[in-house]
Amino acid sequence: MRMGEFSRRTGVSQRLLRYYEEQGLLRPARRPSGYREYEEADVVTVRGIRMLLAAGLNTAVIAELLPCMVDEGRILEPACSSMLPDLHRERARIDEAAASLLAARDRLDALIELTAESGMTDEEACAAVGRGAQR
């Protein structure tokens, strides 16, 4: 199938499909005219790519993992345990990012609480900021 139909079938924009190809995630055949020709198996591959992206993996990691995935009907599934170190590494990276976001939220909550407790009016607060900037 050509790119327009493939895009409709997968729900992925043509621009994004070209990006997946640039990243080595998709390898459609080329017609003599240069048009891309996708197969049914590519639909499953795109679903797998989308699933791995939703799991927080980047395209470089996905390119490493895709060869270890197999089509088990509906979606791609892991076929070899050699993926585990990469998956554990990515999980640790996501845990670290989540902890960082939670810490940022806690700091913001503290600022919100301090601002609410200050009792200053907007005019007083703005005047205090202006005086601090003049020093």
Residue 20's CATH number: 1.10.1660.10
* Residues 92 and 74 grouped into a single domain: no
- Whether 58 and 11 share a structural domain: yes
State whether 57 and 106 are in the same domain.
no
Range of the domain at 71: 3-79
Burial-class residue 23 by CB neighbours within 10 Å (0-12, 13-18, 19+): middle
The proportion of the chain whose per-residue pLDDT surpasses 90, expressed as a percent, equals: 55
Rounded Cα–Cα distance for residues 63 and 53 (Å): 11
Q: Domain tally for the chain?
A: 2
Question: Could you tell me if 70 and 93 lie in one domain?
Answer: no
Same domain, 75 and 9: yes
Please indicate, yes or no, whether residues 70 and 94 belong to a single structural domain of this protein.
no
pLDDT in tens, 20-70: 999 999 999 999 998 999 999 899 899 889 988 998 999 999 998 888 888
Whether residue 92 is found in the same domain as residue 127: yes
pTM of the model: 0.69
Q: What is the mean pLDDT of the chain?
A: 87
Residues 121 and 98 occupy one common structural domain: yes
Cα dihedral sign, 17-20-21-25 = negative
Which of these three, 60, 79, 98, is where a domain ends? 79
Q: Which residue has the higher pLDDT, 14 or 120?
A: 14
Give me the sign of the Cα torsion angle 117, 119, 122, 123: negative
Same domain, 24 and 69: yes
Among residues 14, 58, 53, the alpha carbon closest in space to that of 36 is found at: 14
How far CA 1 is from CA of 17, 47, 50, in Å, comes to: 13, 16, 20
Q: Please tell me whether residues 15 and 40 are part of one structural domain.
A: yes
